[in-house]
Structure 1
Amino acid sequence: MYKSALRDYTRKRIEQIEKSDILVGIPCYNSEKTIAHVIETVSEGLHKHFNHMRNVVFIADGGSTDDTREVVKDVQLKPWQEKIVSIYRGPAGKGSALRSIFEAAVWLDVKACAVVDADIRSITSNWIKSLIEPVLENGYQFVAPVYIRHKYDGTITNNIVYYLIRALYGKRIRQPIGGDFAFSKEVADFYISQPVWDTDVARFGVDIWMTTEAIFNQFEICQACLGVKVHEAKDPAVHLGPMFRQVMWTLFSLMEEHETYWKKIKNSVTVKNFGCYSFMEPEPIKIDLKRLIYYFKIGFKQFKSLWKEILDPDTYETIKTVSRLPIKKFHIPTEIWARILYELAATFHYWPINRHNLINIMEPLYYGRVASFIVETWSMSNQEAEELVEKQAQIFEEQKEYLLKIWETKKEKFRLLANKIK
């Protein structure tokens, strides 16, 4: 495990700058097509809204094999702004990039730090104001984003993460893994001190870890309305398997760590929003519905005996029925989906070894749920689909008693099953 994600040359560059009021970090990897626009927009936002302060733009690269760093070096910032280009140390992934940004923020003794993704095509200069101002002017310590997204963008958020964070921890943070956020130096210092940087958190699990820890440690949290999000969206049937596995591992691990906290939470509360916008339709996203359903049905054939032992009998029978449905009638009810996730969380809790196997056999269920959501919202506008997500989130809250029950009652069964398929 590296003691620092910063290389010596990066640390020397930071020492030359000495101090900054604001740092904006941009984690990147093979982002040559989009990163110049992001940096230029960040620079414009800092110049437009915080020109009276000392500002640094920090590029945390994961060892890109394209021309990302060459593009970055050629981008000119506005006057009186500093740029740092660094290749981070540590496990490959966004978490290690963010660790280097946290360290830079603490070393520079910043008043506020923001992070934006390198593939955001819809970023505007006002994003920088919306993210940073609540920290500087209103005393908030962690700022999460609120976007307008296409209904089939963010399938892990819309079908899993938002529901669980809201039901477990009682905060209606709409984009817990949104990617663009802000925080205070004290929060950055806290994140650095945690022993997670050689785990999956250092890969794709970092966003959900940050949000959960911000809630658990009772940091002052708000949301910044950023408007439409347009980025390099990924088809869940093709690209999101690794991210799904690492996010689920982090979610379930944090459930164990903070068990005494979330068990006491009864209802959810809204989180204050800064900024407002009128609803706009984002650009469409291509998604392979047939492939999603195919992966689910193949998964059922492969794992049905294990699903039958893990899941409640009624839940399993519903999934068995769904596996026979044609595309137009394909549907996993939200009540059943909530029970599936809760049962899998409880199973994970008592799974003694090789937990990655459990996450792997979950993956087809995720594909099936996404396919179900697509079929259900096919004729809906994005705003109508968003309203449905809110209704379904309430169902997860109502089903929480079921989680509390099985968390305690299925201990021995799950231990025996884990030993059976290890």
Structure 2
Amino acid sequence: MVIAPTAESVLPDETRQRLEQIGTAEIVVGIPGYYNVDTLRHVVETAAQGLAHYFPGHRAVVFSVASSTTDEMRALIEGVAAPAHLAVLTSLIQAGQGRGVAVRAVLEAMARLGAQAGALLNSDVPSITPAWLDRLIGPVLRDRFDFVAPNTVRHRHAGTLNDFLVYPLTRALYGIDLRHPMGGECGFSAGLAHFWLAQPVWQDTDVARSAVDIWMATTAVAEGFRIAQANLGVKRRDRRRVLPPREVFHQVMGTLFDLMERYADRWQAVKSSALKIPPFYGDELCDEEPEPVPLDVEWMFRAYLQGMNRHAPLINRVLARESILPPRARSHAHHRFPPELWAPAVYRFALADHRREADRGDLLDALMALYYGRVSAALWENQALDAAAFEQLVIRFQAGLFQVHKHMLTYEWERR
């Protein structure tokens, strides 16, 4: 059944006409954003191969969306070989629009086609395989899951915002172990897509820009949709930038804080010790060492010191009452920022935002400085650990501390 979109269309007339010509489809695979023409074509080709192999009896659409393109690029993408039951098309959104608006376009296409299942793929991941399509979409079509989060192996330098902030905070708040809640790849049902489309977040919000992935994962969890995870293996991205720029950090963390307000009754009801582990689809992840990703850890340490100096009054005001200020060090070699301080520090900043103790932008700038300090310390101290040991002894241990300290957040939330 085709469901009419619930908000003003973000698709151009040409794309809407193409969708009308296609008529219906059971699966829509969206690829929001162009970063590299070569990797994008590879992702489109791999998606088409995966759909043809794993879902041969299903009408499907591979839909690439970006804010800029050329006729040559469009011809390159739409020229990908595909069987008769599979369509490949591209579409433009308004120039300057963020990833969230591109995702909104994918959801709208899914609604117009009446698709039962959807998936998102990043356009700059050369490590994608056809099996990813089965692991992201199969749980939705076969087992009626609503949201399938990615589970990948990445180098410790990649995804530090997820590993040191988003993952442990989401895990502790909602009592669910989603290792990569802002991973970019995911699968979802028509019901969840319809819920997302109906939310008033698609115009001039952080969700419409860079925070759409964590918003999608969090709302799926907090609203009680059925959750699964897809083991996708090693993930390698064709991107030069590793650290999130200031605006992305602000958008992601600001959205997380907004969601804490919206779902306060949900996460407050989750005991600190509670932890659900959604079922996994696909082969168990191996202990393979991912390809190294360059990261200037020394720069992070300097950014931490500069941020601590610049925001000292605010940081002292937020943290000093609990004596959880990290120790200062003159050199990176002597820099320490224990995980035992990190979890309560993050919660104190969440409380300061909740109580409007300072401007949110200033709070997030100060928190970003502390984030640089925690990440640079963890990476420096644990250089000798292999990938598996780093995952268990640093990332998982740290996530456990967020659970341990959650009682303080819950107790303080309603106090003024």
Q: Secondary structure at the match of 1:12?
A: helix
Which residue does 1:4 correspond to in 2? 9
Q: Do structure 1's residue 202 and structure 2's residue 213 form an aligned pair?
A: no
Q: Do structure 1's residue 253 and structure 2's residue 258 form an aligned pair?
A: yes
Q: Secondary structure at the match of 1:201?
A: coil
The answer (yes or no) to whether the contact 1:222–1:273 under 8 Å persists in 2 is yes
Quote how far apart the aligned CAs of 1:275 are. Answer: 1.2
Which residue does 2:118 correspond to in 1? 113
Which runs of 5 or more structure 2 residues have no equivalent in the other structure? 1-6
1:361 to 363, 366, 379: 366
Q: Do structure 1's residue 333 and structure 2's residue 341 form an aligned pair?
A: no
| TM-aligned CA distance change 1:66 to 1:52, over 3 Å | closer
Q: Deviations over 1:129-172 (max 9, x none)?
A: 11111001111011001001112211011000110111000110
| TM-aligned CA distance change 1:246 to 1:25, over 3 Å | same
Quote how far apart the aligned CAs of 1:325 are. Answer: 4.5
Q: Secondary structure at the match of 2:410?
A: helix
1:306 to 314, 332, 335: 314
Which residue does 2:181 correspond to in 1? 176
| TM-aligned CA distance change 1:246 to 1:67, over 3 Å | farther
Q: Deviations over 1:181-203 (max 9, x none)?
A: 00011111110000011210011
Q: Deviations over 1:219-267 (max 9, x none)?
A: 0000010000011355555x53322111000000100111111111012
Q: Do structure 1's residue 404 and structure 2's residue 401 form an aligned pair?
A: no
Which residue does 1:231 correspond to in 2? 237
Which residue does 1:124 correspond to in 2? 129
Q: Do structure 1's residue 381 and structure 2's residue 389 form an aligned pair?
A: no
Q: Secondary structure at the match of 1:33?
A: helix
Take 1:65 and 1:349, find their aligned partners in 2: how far apart are those partners? 45
2:396 to 390, 394, 412: 390
| TM-aligned CA distance change 1:18 to 1:392, over 3 Å | same
The answer (yes or no) to whether the contact 2:77–2:89 under 8 Å persists in 1 is no
Q: Deviations over 1:90-129 (max 9, x none)?
A: 8621110110101111111112111100001100000001
Which residue does 2:4 correspond to in 1? none
The answer (yes or no) to whether the contact 1:235–1:286 under 8 Å persists in 2 is no
Quote how far apart the aligned CAs of 1:354 are. Answer: 4.5
Which runs of 5 or more structure 1 residues have no equivalent in the other structure? 412-422
Q: Do structure 1's residue 289 and structure 2's residue 297 form an aligned pair?
A: yes
Which residue does 1:159 correspond to in 2? 164
Which residue does 1:26 correspond to in 2? 31
The answer (yes or no) to whether the contact 2:308–2:366 under 8 Å persists in 1 is no
| TM-aligned CA distance change 1:86 to 1:280, over 3 Å | same
Take 2:358 and 2:90, find their aligned partners in 1: how far apart are those partners? 40
- What TM-score results when the alignment is normalised by the length of structure 1? 0.91
RMSD: 1.9
Take 2:405 and 2:119, find their aligned partners in 1: how far apart are those partners? 35
Q: Deviations over 1:367-406 (max 9, x none)?
A: 1111012113211111111112112111110000111233
| 4+ aligned runs moved over 4 Å, structure 1 | 64-68, 233-237
Quote how far apart the aligned CAs of 1:351 are. Answer: 1.5
Letter in 2 for 1:383: A
Take 1:373 and 1:235, find their aligned partners in 2: how far apart are those partners? 20
Q: Do structure 1's residue 143 and structure 2's residue 180 form an aligned pair?
A: no
Letter in 1 for 2:311: F
Take 1:19 and 1:66, find their aligned partners in 2: how far apart are those partners? 26
Letter in 2 for 1:302: R
Letter in 2 for 1:403: L
Quote how far apart the aligned CAs of 1:67 are. Answer: 6.4
| Count of paired positions | 405
Take 1:402 and 1:64, find their aligned partners in 2: how far apart are those partners? 49
Which residue does 1:244 correspond to in 2? 249
Take 2:334 and 2:299, find their aligned partners in 1: how far apart are those partners? 16
| TM-aligned CA distance change 1:137 to 1:355, over 3 Å | same
The answer (yes or no) to whether the contact 1:165–1:171 under 8 Å persists in 2 is yes
- What TM-score results when the alignment is normalised by the length of structure 2? 0.93
Of residues 290-299 and 350-359 in structure 1, the stretch that sits farther from structure 2 once superposed is: 350-359
1:85 to 90, 95, 100: 90
The answer (yes or no) to whether the contact 1:24–1:114 under 8 Å persists in 2 is yes
Of residues 107-116 and 75-84 in structure 1, the stretch that sits farther from structure 2 once superposed is: 75-84
The answer (yes or no) to whether the contact 1:26–1:116 under 8 Å persists in 2 is yes
Which residue does 1:272 correspond to in 2? 279
Q: Secondary structure at the match of 2:217?
A: helix
Take 1:245 and 1:28, find their aligned partners in 2: how far apart are those partners? 20
